[in-house]
Amino acid sequence: MKEIIRTDAAPAPFQGAPYSQAIKANGLVFVSGQLSLKPDHAEIVGDTITEQTEQVLANLRAVLEAAGSGLERLVKTTVFLQSLDDFPAMNEVYKQHVGDQPPARSTVEVAKLPSGALVEIEAIALA
């Protein structure tokens, strides 16, 4: 059985696309990729990788909390960067939010992200 997670504390699916913010199933929460959007804005927030990563993690936290989880319960993340040159700055922000028991993680460079975003993060956490 799966439960669709939806919160107004994080952006709705991008441009009305057919996906859920997260799905809770079998003790896990699967969070869709989060961009640097505020719930009430349609445009990317922040010009730097640091600003965008902060907003992405705030969105991720909001979705996880709506599912009864949190950043401390992350088990796996995938970070998509428009440029791997941004890895050090993204990593500095990331490590401030994931605590002393960080999840497994993959980081990849992609050709393009929606709305010109510099970073997108998807996650799996314990419910």
**Mean pLDDT, consecutive 10-residue segments, the chain of 127 residues?**
96 85 98 94 92 98 98 98 98 95 97 96 98
| pLDDT confidence of residue 32 | 97
- The CATH label, of 3.30.1330.40, 1.10.10.10, 3.90.226.10, 3.20.20.70, for the domain at 2-126 is 3.30.1330.40
What is the dihedral sign for C-alpha 72, 124, 115, 37? negative
What is the domain partition of the chain in residue ranges? Answer: 2-126
> What per-residue confidence (pLDDT) applies to 121?
98
The Cβ of residue 50 has, within 10 Å, a number of other Cβ atoms equal to 15
Dihedral sign for Cα 112, 115, 120, 125, please: negative
Q: What is the per-residue pLDDT for 72? A: 96
Instruction: Specify the pLDDT at position 43.
Output: 87
